[in-house]
Structures are given as structure tokens and as C-alpha cells.
């Protein structure tokens, strides 16, 4: 499978530094050679401080990463437990990462309409996933970067909004 497998990842996900825009692709040379040329033309190298930070993140033990992953799992469980029985919503526990995807198709609203209404009515900001491709249409991306109490409050507001529809 190695000749047919491509792994794409970034420090955005593994170390929660999305602004660094530092990532990697591992795959067969026939693909990666072309991608390296494309990246060179697009980016022409990253800032030295980001390269230095990436080197540290990828070569040293970073206990904060495990703590962060644990916090995201705990917050996802909080979010999903509050939303699991809300009519029209379907939230599953993510296998990893810093977001919960919430299926809002059962409400009869598009994800954009739900997100806009939720922000206007309850001050909770989410992201419509429609631009992520056909399988994400009707879903919202909810960040788990806030503290536990804010995640709980946001989930309660989302539930309140959905129940009022």
C-alpha cells in the first residue's frame, strides 16, 4: 500500500498552531517530487522562526501536546453529551482534532442559515462546512479551543436554538 498511500498533516492539527502554516506530505516520490516543486513556487520557504518552531515540535517530546489532546477529547465529550438528544441535530465524537462536526440537516435549515441564526440569537460562532465538499454539506464545525465551561455554555445555547426552531 505504500506506493498508493499519501499522508497529509500539519502543525495546525498536531500542535495547535494553525497560523504557522507548516505541514508535510508523505507519499510516493512520483507525487511528492511534483508537490515539492509546487510548494516551492507557491511559498518560497517559510519564515525562519516557524521553521525553527516546527523543528522543535517534531523532534522533541512535547508533553503539552498530550495535555491538549486530552482537553479536546474532554471538551468534545461535553459538547456531544449536551447535543446528543436534541431533535434535528447529530453530533458524533471526533476521533481526533480540535473540532466537533455537527449535522444540522435534520433542522430543515442549511448549515449557513443555522450558523447565522445561532450567532444572531445566541452569540455562538460556528463555521458552515459546505465549502469542504459534498460529504460536509449540512454540517457545522465547532471549535474546541475554548475552556470547558465555555464549551458547555455554547453547547447549551446551540441546543436551545435548535429546540426553538
How do residues 102-111 score in pLDDT, each as one tens digit?
999 999 999 9
pLDDT in tens, 64-79: 888 999 999 999 999 9
> Are 26 and 70 contained in the same domain?
no
Domain count, the chain: 2
Q: Please choose, from the candidates 122, 70, 57, the residue with its C-alpha nearest in 3D space to the C-alpha of residue 98.
A: 70
Torsion angle (degrees, nearest 10) of CA 68, 71, 76, 82: -160
Work out the average pLDDT over 5-23: 83
> Are 107 and 142 contained in the same domain?
yes
Work out the average pLDDT over 101-123: 97
Sign of CA dihedral 77, 140, 119, 162: negative
Q: Look at residues 41, 59, 77 and tell me which one is the last residue of a structural domain.
A: 59
> Are 27 and 75 contained in the same domain?
no
> Are 85 and 136 contained in the same domain?
yes
Which comes out higher in pLDDT, residue 89 or 24?
Answer: 89
> Are 97 and 155 contained in the same domain?
yes
> Alpha helix (H) ranges present in 22-147?
29-43, 48-59, 63-83, 111-122
> Are 155 and 125 contained in the same domain?
yes
Work out the average pLDDT over 115-136: 96
Q: What is the pLDDT of residue 45?
A: 67
Q: Look at residues 42, 59, 76 and tell me which one is the last residue of a structural domain.
A: 59
Q: How far apart are CA 132 and CA 6, in angstroms?
A: 19
Q: Average pLDDT, whole number, for the chain?
A: 91
pTM for the predicted model, two decimal places = 0.75
> Are 108 and 129 contained in the same domain?
yes
Cell triple for 145: 479551543
Tell me the CATH number at 123: 3.90.1150.10
Amino acid at each position: 500500500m505504500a506506493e498508493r498511500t499519501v499522508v497529509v498533516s500539519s502543525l495546525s492539527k498536531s500542535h495547535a498552531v494553525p497560523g504557522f502554516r507548516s505541514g508535510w506530505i508523505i507519499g510516493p516520490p512520483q507525487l511528492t517530487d511534483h508537490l515539492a516543486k509546487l510548494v516551492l513556487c507557491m511559498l518560497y520557504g517559510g519564515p525562519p522562526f516557524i521553521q525553527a518552531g516546527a523543528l522543535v515540535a517534531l523532534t522533541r517530546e512535547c508533553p503539552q501536546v498530550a495535555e491538549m489532546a486530552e482537553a479536546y477529547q474532554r471538551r468534545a465529550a461535553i459538547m456531544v453529551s449536551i447535543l446528543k438528544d436534541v431533535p434535528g441535530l447529530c453530533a458524533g465524537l471526533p476521533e481526533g482534532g480540535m473540532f466537533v462536526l455537527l449535522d444540522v440537516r435534520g433542522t430543515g435549515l442549511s448549515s449557513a442559515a443555522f450558523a447565522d441564526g445561532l450567532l444572531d440569537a445566541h452569540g455562538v460562532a460556528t463555521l458552515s462546512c459546505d465549502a469542504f465538499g459534498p460529504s460536509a454539506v449540512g454540517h457545522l464545525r465547532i471549535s474546541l479551543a475554548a475552556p470547558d465551561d465555555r464549551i458547555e455554555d455554547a453547547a447549551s445555547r446551540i441546543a436551545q436554538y435548535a429546540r426553538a426552531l
